[in-house]
Amino acid sequence: MKRIAVFCGSSEGASPAYIAAAKELGKTLAEQGLTLVYGGASVGLMGAVANGAMQAGGHVIGVIPDFLDKREIAHTHLSELIVVSSMHERKAKMAELADGFIALPGGPGTLEEFFEIFTWAQLGLHQKPLGILNVEGYYDLLVKLFDHIADEQFMHEKYRTMTMADTDSERLLEKFRHYKAPEVKTYIKRPEQT
């Protein structure tokens, strides 16, 4: 495991704890010699995770679409900034570069990025670990929703274990190191559907 992609809010959130956790995650990645791959912006938690890593001497690769370059204000002090031409290209590039994925608190954009990687894992398109850093219980409701989805049999229990959640970044990264991807998703075809 060399590079970790972090999905997170372009906003700062209501509590200073979110920015602090983003900075801390960046620092932890740098200390563990892991390259941070993220959306390349200087704003919100995105800026904080990058600053945390850069200030701790880490290597940071930002991937930003050209149309967002100005709106999200591309970070100008990264090890590398890759400018792409669309959101799809951004996600594909981040997915290609990363060996694992972490979602910090964020809004719809963060969830969209996380869910795409999650569903690709279910389909066996990659075998990389993914996890949620549950800062201040921000993702408690999502973790509950995953339980509900599995209970109601819209997701197999084995995929439930794909979405590792932890409150501590070092523990989450440790789980990543021991992660073994479950078998690829199969479909049950009932007789009445034939």
Q: Which residues bind ligand AMP (CB under 6 A)?
A: 9-11, 39, 41, 68, 72, 87, 91, 106-110, 112-113
Residue 92 beta carbon to ligand AMP: minimum distance, rounded to whole angstroms: 11
Residue 72 beta carbon to ligand AMP: minimum distance, rounded to whole angstroms: 6
* DSSP structural state of residue 109: H
What type of residue is 91? K
* R_g (Cα) of the chain, nearest Å: 17
Residue 193 beta carbon to ligand AMP: minimum distance, rounded to whole angstroms: 32
Please give the Cα distance from 91 to 84 (Å, whole number): 10
CB nearer to ligand AMP: give 52 or 106: 106
CB nearer to ligand AMP: give 110 or 169: 110
Tell the residue number behind the tokens 């204000």, with chain if given: 73
In Å, how far from its chain's centre is CA 52? Answer: 16
CB nearer to ligand AMP: give 10 or 179: 10
Task: Label residues 149-165 b or e (16+ Cβ within 10 Å = b).
Answer: ebeeeebeeebeebbbb
Contact present, 13 and 119 (Cβ < 8 Å): no
Residue 69 beta carbon to ligand AMP: minimum distance, rounded to whole angstroms: 11
Residue 93 beta carbon to ligand AMP: minimum distance, rounded to whole angstroms: 12
Task: Name, in order, each residue with C-beta under 8 angstroms of 128's C-beta and a sequence gap of 6 or more.
Answer: 98, 99, 100, 101, 117, 121, 181
CB nearer to ligand AMP: give 75 or 91: 91
Select the residue whose beta carbon is closest to ligand AMP and give its number. Answer: 109
CB nearer to ligand AMP: give 54 or 179: 54
